Amino acid sequence: MKYFIIAGEASGDLHGSNLIKEIAKLDSNVIFKGVGGDLLKSQKVELLFGLDRLAFMGFYEVLKNLRIIRRNFKEIKQAILTFKPDVVLLIDYPGFNLRMAKWCKQNGFKVAYYISPTIWAWNEKRVEIVKKYVDIMLCILPFEKAFYEKHNYLNAHFVGHPLLDEEQDIKFEFDLKNKNIIALLPGSRKQELQNLLPVMLQTAQQFPNENFVITAISRLKDIYANNLPPNVSIVYDDMKGVLKNAKAAIVCSGTATLETALLHVPQVVVYKTSWLNYQIGKRLAKVRFISLPNLITNDKIVEELIQDDCNVESICDELKKLLAVSQSTFYSSLNSRIGERGASVKAANAVYELAR
């Protein structure tokens, strides 16, 4: 059978690659096409184009790149019409993929959506789009299935979080005998790095006796500072290896907050965006928290420093507290709520049954 995949971000590329690896075990005649990154390509997905044409974040950035986004829609629609897939598999990336779901369904294609958009946080009205145009919604957070049921959508399935599976197979490249560093996770997008890396480096300068390590991405190598403080170093493409050696972490809000938690590293979550993005987002948000550990537990188990609170003084204060925390008990309430392993296998079975 034929599957067309749309993954617009690095995390979607990762989770999507693990999902289609499991689909291929179920379907010996499988053919994959789509858009995404190197990990999807490594699973023999024929890519129409890569992440460099998809990874925009924030309201202003989307407006600024409308021409490219319209071009992406046009090319993907034509590719789907030509390919005629049994299922269109949408992975996260809601601003783009919810619109694509509508078009796909209106043109007679089955739609599976893996990693639910956070409509419970921003705009509940978008649940109507899911109800009309998504055949199955595969949720990775434990409270999402109940959210959809509340809105009379019964095709949502909680499969567990895919990070739980990845933790079993971690291969650490970066390894220290003295596991005594502080990890800096400034994000995976250009805008995040530009907003957060300077304040993280200034924070590191306030702790001259501590060793800090930036978890960096090689495809964004030109953005990282050349003149780093003497107690700061960089490790490329091995975030989990860095976290394994960390006693604390300063983390950009996103999936990395949960990855940090699953490795039991105490963290402070930080986020800063443009004034316009923040003002719009603040008015739309309907949740108390932005980090996954807090959202899953519905409790403030990690500190969140957002926008004006994301400053050197506040981060230093929180980091001092973290260095005195026991790692073994920091995430006890999260461990009981996150769910079980096997997300990729469960999701693959659901997608395969839809295709059949």
**Range 200-206 contact pairs with CB under 8 angstroms and sequence separation of 24 or more:** 200/250, 200/270, 200/315, 201/225, 201/228, 201/229, 201/232, 202/312, 203/250, 203/312, 203/315, 203/316, 203/319, 204/229, 204/231, 204/232, 205/229, 205/231, 206/312, 206/316
Whole domain around residue 204: which residue ranges? 169-335
- pLDDT tens digits for 162-184? 988 875 555 566 777 667 899 99
CA distance 214 to 236: 8
196 plus 118 within the same structural domain = no
Q: Residue 337: CB partners within 8 Å, gap ≥ 6?
A: 142, 296, 297
- pLDDT tens digits for 2-30? 999 999 888 889 899 999 999 999 998 99
52 plus 174 within the same structural domain = no
Taking phi first (over 0 means left), then psi (-120 to 50 degrees means alpha), and beta for anything else, what does residue 36 get?
left
63 plus 101 within the same structural domain = yes
155 plus 239 within the same structural domain = no
195 plus 145 within the same structural domain = no
pLDDT at 214: 95
Residue 139 has phi, psi (to 5 degrees) of -95, 145
28 plus 154 within the same structural domain = yes
122 plus 224 within the same structural domain = no
pLDDT at 47: 94
Indicate the number of domains in the chain: 2
151 plus 287 within the same structural domain = no
pLDDT at 156: 97
Mean pLDDT, rounded, for 274-284: 60
182 plus 310 within the same structural domain = yes
Collapsing DSSP to helix, strand or coil, 90 comes out as: strand
- pLDDT tens digits for 30-59? 999 999 999 999 999 999 988 877 765 555
37 plus 99 within the same structural domain = yes
CATH code: domain of residue 38:
3.40.50.2000
257 plus 202 within the same structural domain = yes
At residue 279 the predicted structure's pLDDT band, cuts being 50, 70 and 90, is: low
- pLDDT tens digits for 137-159? 999 998 899 999 999 999 999 99
At residue 110 the predicted structure's pLDDT band, cuts being 50, 70 and 90, is: very high
CA distance 110 to 136: 9
Neighbours of 191 (CB within 10 A): 18
155 plus 123 within the same structural domain = yes
Q: Given a cut of 90, is residue 203 above it in pLDDT? A: yes
**Cβ pair 187, 193 in contact under 8 A:** yes
pLDDT at 142: 86
pLDDT at 307: 87
CA distance 7 to 17: 10
